[in-house]
Amino acid sequence: MFCNVKSHKIYSDNFGIKILDLTRTDLATKEDKAYNLDKWARIFKATTWEELKALSKNNRFMKEVTKSMHIMTEDEILREKMIEREEFYADMRWLKERADAVDKERRRADDAEAERDSTMAELAKYKEKYGELK
């Protein structure tokens, strides 16, 4: 039944909405338990496939829902794995670029050191030939 909660005016008796609070299965009435609403709530709160299988073990409808949930999330699992793989490759590319930059800087430093050594050798030859500068 659909009605105004303040005035209790009935809009339609052909329509109704029931809400199941998944977090409050402890408040389930005997009638709720008779219709397995507490078990259905636990199905939708489950966080692992093992938990889902255990909850749906003795109910063919719950098994079917569990199977459907698994099929619907397979694509999501695949998508998550693909995202993880792309993030891994992006991290590897960043690490390679960083390593290449470090290598380039190291080569530049090595070249500068070699140039300094060459200049020092030339200066030593000059000193040998002409003596100390004054």
- List, for residues 51-106, the tens digit of each pLDDT value: 988 988 988 999 998 888 888 788 877 888 888 999 999 999 999 999 999 999 99
User: Rg of the chain's alpha carbons, rounded to an integer?
Assistant: 37
Amino acid at 58: N
CB atoms within 10 A of CB 62: 19
What's the mean per-residue pLDDT of the chain? 87
Q: What CA–CA distance (Å, rounded) separates 89 from 35?
A: 50
Q: What CA–CA distance (Å, rounded) separates 99 from 107?
A: 12
Q: What CA–CA distance (Å, rounded) separates 92 from 78?
A: 21
Domain ranges for the chain: 24-130
pLDDT of residue 96: 95
Residue 16 has pLDDT above 70, yes or no: no
Total residues belonging to the chain? 134
pLDDT of residue 1: 65
Whole-model pTM: value is 0.43
Joined together, the tokens standing for residue 112 give: 């500068």
